[in-house]
Structure 1
Amino acid sequence: MAGHSKWANIQHRKGRQDAKRGKIFTKMAKDIILAAKGGGDPAMNATLRLAVAKAKAVNMPNDKIDTAIKKGTGELAGGDINEVMYEGYGPGGVAVLIEAATDNRNRTVAEVRHILGKGGGSMGEAGCVAWMFDKKGVMSFNPEQFTEDQLLEIGLDAGAEDVISEDGSLEVHCAPEDFTAVQKAFEEAEMVADSTELSFVPKNLVELDVPTAKKLMSLMEKLEDNEDVQNVHVNADFPDELMAELED
């Protein structure tokens, strides 16, 4: 579904990735701890392999990665982290799906509810918006390096469902169970993705005007600033005027 990559591009244009760097190692460590619960060998655990690769991509030190793995496997204390999902609504009635990792559910749900309320949104019941998203493997490629036809040729044979061209990026989408095979096919073809992740992709998008989109963007930034929040997904189509404004 087009629109999935726009939030990442907005963050890039605003320099948000650098602003988050102080907290990003904490978030990456939680990802690794959770993944390592399924086994501490990245060669045998695809989820852990992906988490480690993402950590290395942001220059997380190897000793911190190793410590997080050992916490996840139980070799070290501190691995009592649980995955939680929160659902709610943002400005303009947009669906908001929040992935979090926490050692204190009561603290995290209170903080998320507070952020949503102050940002013009509200917390919803479990299941209220999750049905609006599909979990997909998502691989983003630089359109200056690869063409849509090249990605289709390699991806479809490995199980990819679609290649989407939008807003200066090319995204390959696949079912979660085909993610490892598709990723391996591109690696063997020496086609390096800019990013790879398992994500929640909206089935349909809500069109927003610029003022509402800015309010939503502010809410998403505040949610992502919370150390327990790992990812925020919305079914919003950020207007092109906003994208152009950020480039000025």
Structure 2
Amino acid sequence: MSGHSKWNNIQHRKGAQDKKRASLFTKLGKELTIAAREGGGDPSFNPRLRLAIDKAKAGNMPKDILERAIKKGTGELGGVDYIEMRYEGYGPAGTAFIVDVVTDNKNRSASEVRTAFSRKGGNLGADGAVSWMFNKKGEIIFLAEHIADSEEFMMVALDAGAEDIIEEDGEFQVLTDPAEFQNVLQSLTDAGYKYDEAEITMIPENKVAITDLDTAKKVMVLYDALDDLDDVQEVYSNFDIPDEIMEQLD
């Protein structure tokens, strides 16, 4: 994909197609529980939890569900023992896929991911099969329309430790080392800049250009099949579908 806005297009398209709020809350809840389990229930001292809370609020998760998920992680409420796993594989046209899973049943998740790959034109690979094609980065997105002085914005981001800043499609994409992600995010927030999205993600080193509608359909069928699985938290890929083709997939 070329530029973060392309990923936004995918999410907006999917959001218009499926209204499975319960599934969304399940995924958000798992991340809250794991974050609280690993770093405690106070977001002031747990960056991963703070980010998970922001995502949950952006997803309109009710406050009581959010709080229960955190308490399950801290042990205040009984809960499921979740395991984090990663699967890697290949899709149509030589595309690469990384699938992050949070599950209470490894066998079930493995079977579902394998089936999605095999039935939707892909192949499940071994550990490390495609992850070498990606870099783990912190990514913070700001809408250009909300930034009055782009040079000042870039200076603040770079001084805070940002590795790269890309302006494209009306957005500023700030990339950081994962270890510097929270520092950069906090510095920009303290400077008065309101971010649109922020996450630790996998950025492909090179992208596969998808230039025809039929291939784009095949790639997105696999992407959707994986992303729709309840145990799947994130799907990363290296395909680059132009906006004009993506719009025809609605």
Q: Is 1:87 aligned to residue 94 of structure 2? A: no
Residue type matched to 1:152 in 2?
M
Partner of 2:42: 41
Name structure 1 gaps, 5 residues minimum. Answer: none
SS of 1:9 mapped into structure 2: helix
SS of 1:43 mapped into structure 2: helix
- Post-superposition shift, 1:168? 3.7
- Post-superposition shift, 1:63? 1.2
Q: Is 1:239 aligned to residue 246 of structure 2? A: no
Residue type matched to 1:9 in 2?
N
Q: 1:165 to 1:18 in 2, by over 3 A?
A: farther
Identity of aligned residues (%): 49
Residue type matched to 1:140 in 2?
I
CA distance in 2 between partners of 1:89 and 1:16 (Å)? 27
Query: Is contact 2:216–2:241 with CA below 8 Å preserved after alignment?
Result: yes
- Post-superposition shift, 1:13? 4.1
CA distance in 2 between partners of 1:101 and 1:48 (Å)? 16
Q: Is 1:205 aligned to residue 207 of structure 2? A: yes
For residues 62-81 of structure 1, the aligned pairs below 5 Å read 62-81=63-82
Query: Is contact 1:2–1:164 with CA below 8 Å preserved after alignment?
Result: no
Give the TM-score normalised by structure 1.
0.93
Residue type matched to 2:12 in 1?
H
Partner of 2:193: 191
Q: Is 1:225 aligned to residue 228 of structure 2? A: yes
* Divergent runs of 4+, >3 A: 1-5, 13-18, 243-247
Q: 1:124 to 1:16 in 2, by over 3 A?
A: farther
The number of residues matched between the two structures is: 247
- Post-superposition shift, 1:209? 2.5
Name structure 2 gaps, 5 residues minimum. Answer: none
Q: 1:149 to 1:20 in 2, by over 3 A?
A: farther
Q: 1:56 to 1:17 in 2, by over 3 A?
A: farther
CA distance in 1 between partners of 2:190 and 2:244 (Å)? 39
Residue type matched to 2:24 in 1?
I
Q: 1:214 to 1:167 in 2, by over 3 A?
A: farther
Q: 1:25 to 1:166 in 2, by over 3 A?
A: same
Q: 1:196 to 1:71 in 2, by over 3 A?
A: same
Give the TM-score normalised by structure 2.
0.92
